[in-house]
Amino acid sequence: MPEREVETSATVNQGLPVAPSLGPSLAQSHVPIASMPVDGRVVLISGVAIVLAAVAAVVAQILMHLIWFITNVSFHGKFSFEHGIPPQSVLGTPMGNHLGLWVIVVPVIGGIIVGFMARYGSKAIRGHGIPEAMEQVLLNQSRIPARLTFLKPLSAAVAIGTGGPFGAEGPIIATGGALGSLIGQIMPTTAAERKTLLAAGASAGMAATFGSPVSAVLLAIELLLFEFRPRSIIPVALASATATGVRWAFDGAHPVFAMPDLLQPGGLALASYIAIGAIVGLLSVVVTHAVYAIEDGFEHMPAHWMWWPAIGALAVGVVGYFYPRTLGVGYYNISDIISNHLTISAVAALALWKFVSWSISLGSGTSGGTLAPLFTIGGAVGAVLGVAAARIFPGAGIDLRIAALVGMASIFAGASRALLTSAVFAFETTLQPIGLLPLLGGCTASFLVSSLLMRNTIMTEKIARRGVRVPAEYEADFLDQVLVRDVIRNKLVTLHGTQTLQSVRDWIVSRVPGSTHQGYPVLNGDGHLLGVLTRRALLDPGNRAEQTLAELIARPPVIVYADNTLRDAADHMVNHDIGRLPVVDRETRQVIGIITRSDLLGAHRRRLSENLRPAA
C-alpha cells in the first residue's frame, strides 16, 4: 500500500466544481464554520441590553426610595421618601433618631422579616448578591429564578431600611443581573448570550448606583463574564452607559463621593500610598477570613437559619446605639472620610465598629451588599495610616484624603481581586484625576498581598467551598493562536476509492509502516478527498470483502483547512464526534495531512515550555 509524503499547508475548496469522484463530493464536505467577532445577534443583544439597563436604572431608583421610606418610618416615624445628607438633613438615614434603646429593636425586626422572606420566599436572597450571580453563571447557565427579581431588592430594602450596615449597590447589582437572566430565559438565547444579559443587568445596576460606567464594565469582566470578547463587552458597555445616563437624569452628573481637589504627590508620598495599599491588602485578607469565620459560627448555631438574620441584627442594633454612623447605607460616611471632614479618632472608631456590625450581620446570612461597608472600612483605615505616614515622613506632603481614597479602593481590590474595577471606581466616583496614580499603585500592592496570602476572595470563598472552581486568570486561548498547518504530520498515508476492502485488509495484516494508523483519508482517481475510513470500519466483518472503499463511505467528509486554528479543529471534532480530521489545501483542494486529538494535546507542549523556569 503506497505511502504519500505531503507538504503542510491547507484546506478544501468550498462550492467550486471538483473532479468526478466515486463517493460524496468534496464540495459537500463539512468544514469549520467561520465565526465573526460581531454579528447580527450582537446587535440584537445590545438593543435588549440597552432596554434592560434603562429598566434596571429605574429599579435602582425605586429601591433607593424604598430604603429611604423604610428608614424614615423605622427611625423617624414619618411616611416619607425624603432623604438628605447629615448633618444638614437626617431624613432617609438612621442618624438623628430619638428612639433611645428602642433603636436596638429596629434592626432585629428587619432581620425577622428577612428571615421569613428567605424561608418562605427564596433562600437565595441571603448574601450580598455578586457571589450568588457568579454561581448562577458558573453552574446554572446564568439562569436566576424569576422570583429573585423582586424578592432580592425587597428583602434588601427591609434589611438596610431597618439599619442594616450594608450598601444598596449589592442588591441593585443582583437585581439587575436577575432581570437580565429573566429576559434571557424568556427570549430564545444561548447560554453565552444569557450570561451577557446577566452581566449587562448587573453592570447597569452598579452604574445606576454610583454613576461609574467604566468600572461597572470592568466589574462585569473581572467577576461575572470571565472573558473579554466583543460579543459580550459591547452589550455590557452600552448597558452601563445607558444606566449612567438614566441616573444623571434623576440625580445629576455630580460625583457620588465629591471631595476637594487633591495635592500632586511626590515620590515619597507616592511610595507611602503604595505601602498603605499593601497594608490594607493585608487587612482585606483578615476581613475576608473574619466574615467567613462568623458565617461558620452561625452554621453551628442550634437555632434555625431563618432566625440568624435577627440574631445578627441584634449586634447591629447594639453597635448602632453607641455609634449611629454604623447604621444604614452610610454613603455619606465615605464622603466624609475621603474629604477629611471627621477627626481621626472618629474615623478609627467608625472603621472598627462598622466592621464589627457589618461582619456579624453579613455572616448571619441576611440580605445586603459588601461594597459600601468595605469602602467605609478601607477608607477609614487608609486615613489612619495616612496620619501615621505623615508623622513618620513630615516633609513628604502626604495628603490624608488621598490616603483615605487609596484605602477605600485597595480593600476592595484585595478582598475581591477586582484590581482595575477598584482603581477606576475610585476615580469615577470622585472625578479626581490626581488620585489615579496613587490608586493604581495602592490597589496593585493590595492585590499582590491578597494573592500571596489568600486562595479565594470574599466573592468566591462561598462558591469554592461547594467545590466550584472560579476562573481567576484570563488569557487568550492557546489553541486559537496556532494554525493547523503548524502541527499536522508531514507524512500522510492515504487509500484509494477503487481499492477493494480485502486488499486493504491484507495490507493491514502485513503490518508494514503506516498500516497501524486508526484512520485513513480515501481519495478518488484525481487525488481529491472522498472521505475518511477508520481502522474499525475496514476490519468490520459485516462489510463485504469485495466492496470498494468508495462504496463504504456513507457521508461527506469532515475536513479542516490548513489556515484554520487548532480551536476550529477541536470544536469541529467535538461537533462531529470524531477524533481526526483530514487537512485540505484551500487552493489545490488536495489532502495534505491529518490532524488528531493527540496533535491538539501535543501542541500544548509549546505553551508549557513558555512557562518553564530556566535552570539555575
The reported pLDDT for the residue numbered 615 is 60
**Of the candidate ranges 311-315, 327-331, 361-365, 464-468, the one whose mean pLDDT is the lowest:** 464-468
pLDDT of residue 339: 93
Q: Each residue of 257-299: pLDDT tens digit? A: 988 888 899 999 999 999 999 999 999 999 999 999 999 999 8
Is the pLDDT reported for residue 20 higher than 50? no
For domain 4-34+478-610, the CATH superfamily is CBS-domain (3.10.580.10)
The residue assigned the cell 457568579 is 134
Per DSSP, the three-state class of 146 is coil
pLDDT for residue 34 is more than 70: no
Q: What percent of the chain has pLDDT over 90?
A: 50
Q: Environment class of residue 579 by beta-carbon count within 10 Å: exposed (0-12), middle (13-18) or buried (19+)?
A: middle
Q: Are 174 and 208 in contact (CB under 8 A)?
A: no
Lowest-pLDDT range, 25-39, 233-247, 558-572, 573-587?
25-39
* 1.10.10.10, 1.10.260.40, 1.10.3080.10, 3.30.420.40: CATH of 40-465: 1.10.3080.10
Domain limits of the chain? Answer: 4-34+478-610, 40-465
Q: Please, which pLDDT band fits residue 29 given cuts at 50, 70 and 90?
A: low
Q: Is the pLDDT of residue 369 over 80?
A: no
Whether residue 1 has pLDDT greater than 50: no
**Strands of 495-496's sheet in order across:** 495-496, 519-523, 529-534
Hey, do 4-34+478-610 and 40-465 end up sharing a CATH topology, with the first three levels equal?
A: no
Say which range, 207-221, 230-244, 479-493, has the weakest mean pLDDT.
Answer: 479-493
What would the pLDDT profile of 219-233 be if each residue is shown by its tens digit?
999 988 888 889 999
- Is residue 134 classed as helix, strand or coil in its secondary structure? helix
| Per-residue confidence (pLDDT) for residue 490, from 0 to 100 | 61
DSSP-derived secondary structure for 319-359: HHHH-GGGSS--HHHHHHHHTT-S-HHHHHHHHHHHHHHHH
Question: Residues 24-41: what's their mean pLDDT?
Answer: 70
Cell of 489: 504530520
Cell reading at 190: 444561548
Coil, helix or strand at residue 448: helix
Mean pLDDT, the chain, integer: 87
Higher pLDDT, 34 or 59: 59
Range of lowest pLDDT (12-21, 149-158, 531-540, 603-612) = 12-21
Please report which confidence band the pLDDT of residue 463 belongs to, taking 50, 70 and 90 as the band edges: confident
Mean pLDDT of 436-441: 96
Q: How much is the average pLDDT of 577-581? A: 85
